[in-house]
Chains A and B, each alone.
Chain A
Amino acid sequence: MLEVQGIHAAYGQVQALYGVSFTARPGEILCLLGRNGAGKTTTLKTIMGLLPLSEGSVSLEGEVLNLLSPHEVPKRGIGYIPQGRRLFPELSVAENIEIGLMTRGEGKDTRDWVLDLFPRLRERLGQAAGTLSGGEQQMLATARALCLRPKVLLLDEPTEGLQPSIIALIRDVVLKMKAEGIAIVLVEQRVETVMAIADQAVFIENGRNVDAMSAAELQADPGKLKAYLGV
């Protein structure tokens, strides 16, 4: 279970988060929602330790993550799919996967597992990641994060700019990971995706929690979701 409690973070002098809190449970999908600039990406970066927090705490199964060095955080089992994929563009597909495997010392079994989830990557192993199509890059970013065999998966707008068939594939994989008991934190702007897969939704605005809804509440009042997302 990932517990985020009242985190404050800033980019230099500019305060971005003012006490964001939520709990992501194993086997659940928590959607982190809000308009552009609300602090969603900043929240995920702060969880990963890429941005230092000034107040609050992030803990995984009771271990306080914000006391660790940033490179130790993923080793505890947090897989991160950044916004814009952030692949290593000049490394091959195989090398990007290798980086993911090295994070927690995973081996051939995990490699085969992720390549079975995304068979197209198997055909592109020697190709530079930067030369893949947008959909293939998203598959690789997802595969790289899954190479950690994560307990928690953080996804930052994984369907942004993708064609429907790839969105469906990514959504299926996310649901598979949920079924395997992974806690998933998903930043998403697509209303239909949120409605289809979210177990709970946390709304943030200007770096603060403003609301939270369960799946049943989302289904009962989709207008509220659209209002928060500004669509």
Chain B
Amino acid sequence: MEFGPHLMLAALEGAVTAAILALTAMGLSIVFGVMRVVNVAHGEFYMLGAVLAWWVATVLGTHPAIGFVAALIIAPALVGGIAMVADRLVLKRVAYDADRTIVATIGMLYIIQQTTLMTFGPDARPVEPPFNTRLALPWFEWGENGFAMFWPWGLSTTSYKLFVIAAAAVVLVALWLVITRTKAGLLMRATQQDSETAQAFGVPVGRVYSLVFGLGAGLAALGAVLVVPIQQAHYLMGHDPLLLSFIVVIIGGLGSLPGTVIAALLIGMSDGIISVFFSPTLAKIIATLLVALVLVFRPQGLMGRAQT
């Protein structure tokens, strides 16, 4: 395949990675932005979403589309619920202290991971995509006979991958509308800016924290449900999303939602393209290098606010 179509193929793979990463990193960013909690267990909520998606689809045992839709609703809701309980039982008890919440979420990481291993076992679990039509993609080129369209061999994607990109975009837009246009979003933003004053104006800050922690975990789980028809569910699959989410949140700016989306696109696309042309390891090295550069030259991230 020529370079152009090959690049397009790599960019499509990158767009799928970016879509999943944007959802996952958004969860981490919201939790940090509102609660100032660095959730080290975020990757495990992602993993739990993937494993529960397999479990829901298997238990229902019906048509793949029905199992997938059920998983899309049930798994994020269950994971969000578990996160809310964890917030009440653990984070609230350490008074959301920055240092102690890091230790507490490391504890959560191992509890979730090992419980999943003991409950569902160590095997990787596939989930069948609800639809997976292969779509050939056209390529346009200016040649001797003018502008021409042709169909390069191997330039194709699947309808499911396009669905993942579209679904992530819809969820992110919906999230943006909730945060900026609804009363619940207003309460979240007020809590983010000054939780003590918010409380002095009747905002139930504890409940907002629970909801935000649940929402953050639910977003990670949603990303995982979307990814399991492409990548199998496994009890150790939470590490990479956690690392990449941290990279995205640091590059985008801690707590900045637009910054998170931009950084997810940057990292996801570069990950996809570099992985296709070179190797996935090189993609991770470059992403980590990018974080180092951001920390040195712009510690507040692309769209974060400098601390004064």
A residues near B (Cβ < 8 Å) are 48-50, 69-75, 80, 82, 86-91, 95, 98-100, 102-104, 144, 148
Q: Which residues of A contact B202 (CB under 8 A)?
A: 71-72, 74-75, 102-104
Q: Of the candidates A69, A71, A95, which one forms a contact with B186 in the assembled complex, judged by CB atoms under 8 Å apart?
A: A95
- The answer to whether A69 and B204 touch across the interface, beta carbons within 8 angstroms, is yes
User: Is B199 engaged at the interface, CB distance under 8 Å to the other chain?
Assistant: yes
A88-B199 in contact (CB<8A) = no
Closest to B202 in A: A103
Residue contact B189 to A91, C-beta cutoff 8 Å? yes
Q: Please, which residues of chain B bring their CB within 8 A of the CB of A87?
A: 197
Known contacts being A90-B193, A91-B189, is A102 close to B183, with CB within 8 Å? yes
The yes or no answer to B194 lying at the interface (CB within 8 A) is: yes
A88 touching B190, Cβ below 8 Å = yes
The prevalent SS among residues of B at the interface is helix
Tell me if A88 and B194 are in contact (CB < 8 A): yes
26 contacts between A and B (CB under 8 A): A49-B199, A50-B200, A70-B200, A71-B199, A71-B202, A71-B203, A71-B205, A80-B200, A80-B201, A82-B197, A82-B200, A86-B194, A86-B197, A88-B190, A88-B194, A88-B198, A89-B193, A91-B186, A91-B189, A95-B186, A98-B186, A99-B190, A100-B201, A102-B201, A103-B202, A104-B202
Known: A95-B189, A98-B186, A99-B186. 4 other contacts (CB 8 A): A88-B189, A88-B194, A88-B198, A102-B187
User: How far, in angstroms, from A30 to B186 measured CA to CA in the complex?
Assistant: 34
Contact partners of A88 in chain B: CB under 8 A = 189-190, 193-194, 197-198
Cα–Cα distance between A70 and B198 once the two chains are bound (Å): 10
**Bound: A91/B179 CA distance, A:** 12
Q: How many residues of B contact A (CB 8 A)?
A: 17
Indicate if the CB atoms of B200 and A99 lie closer than 8 Å: no
Give the distance in Å from the alpha carbon of A95 to the alpha carbon of B189 in the complex: 10
User: B240 interface residue, CB < 8 Å from A?
Assistant: no
Chain A residues closer than 8 Å to B189, beta-carbon distance: 88, 90-91, 95
Most A C-beta atoms less than 10 A away, residue of B183, B193, B202: B202
Tell me, yes or no, whether B196 is within 8 Å of chain A by CB: yes
A99 contacts B201, C-beta separation under 8 Å: yes
A-B pairs with lowest CB-CB distance, top 10: A103-B202, A86-B197, A88-B193, A71-B204, A74-B202, A80-B200, A103-B201, A70-B199, A88-B190, A71-B199
Chain B 232-260: CB-based contact to A (< 8 A → 1; otherwise 0): 00000000000000000000000000000
Taking CB atoms, residues of chain A closer than 8 Å to B198 are 88, 99
Flag if A48 contacts B186 (CB, 8 Å). Answer: no
A33 to B46, alpha carbons, bound, how many Å? 55
The residue on B at minimum CB distance from A80 is B200
In the complex, which residues of chain B have a beta carbon less than 8 angstroms from the beta carbon of A148?
Answer: 201
Q: Which residues in A have their C-beta under 8 angstroms from that of B197?
A: 82, 86-88
Cβ proximity bits B188-221 to A, threshold 8 Å, 1 near / 0 not: 0110011011111111110000000000000000
Q: Which of B159-202 contact A (CB under 8 A)?
A: 183, 186-187, 189-190, 193-194, 196-202
A48 to B183, CA, bound (A): 23
User: Is B190 in contact with A91, judged by CB distance below 8 angstroms?
Assistant: yes
Contacts of A72 in B (CB 8 A): 202
B193 in contact with A50 (CB, 8 Å): no
Nearest-Cβ distance from residue A67 to partner chain B, whole angstroms: 16
**B278 to nearest A CB, angstroms?**
41
Contacts of B186 in A (CB 8 A): 91, 95, 98-99, 102
The interface centre, meaning the residue of B196, B200, B202 with most chain A CB atoms within 10 A of its CB, is B200
A98 to B198, CA, bound (A): 12
Q: Determine the chain B residues whose CB is within 8 A of the CB of A86 once the complex forms.
A: 194, 196-197
Cα A50 to Cα B202 in complex, Å, equals 11
Which residue of chain B is the closest to A96 with respect to CB atoms?
B190
Give bound CA distance, A86 to B198, whole Å: 10
In the bound complex, how far is the Cα of B202 from the Cα of A89, in angstroms?
Answer: 18
Q: How far is B199's CA from A103's CA once the two chains are assembled, in angstroms?
A: 10
Tell me which residues across on chain B come within 8 A of A71, comparing CB atoms: 199, 202-205
The smallest C-beta distance from B280 to any residue of chain A, in angstroms, reads 38
Measured CA separation A106–B196 after assembly (Å): 21
Closest to B207 in A: A71
Nearest opposing residue in chain A for B196, CB measure: A50
Give Cα A18 to B168, complex, Å: 56
Question: Which residue on B lies nearest to A130, using beta carbons?
Answer: B193
- In Å, the complex CA distance between A48 and B202 comes to 10
Residues in A neighbouring B199, C-beta threshold 8 A: 49-50, 70-71
- Chain A, Cβ-Cβ closest to B183: A102
Chain B residue contacts of A70, Cβ below 8 A: 199-200
Query: A99: which of B196, B203, B204, B205 is its contact (CB, 8 Å)?
Result: B203
The interface residues of chain B lying within 8 Å CB-to-CB of A50 are 196, 199-200
Min C-beta distance of A101 to chain B, whole Å: 10
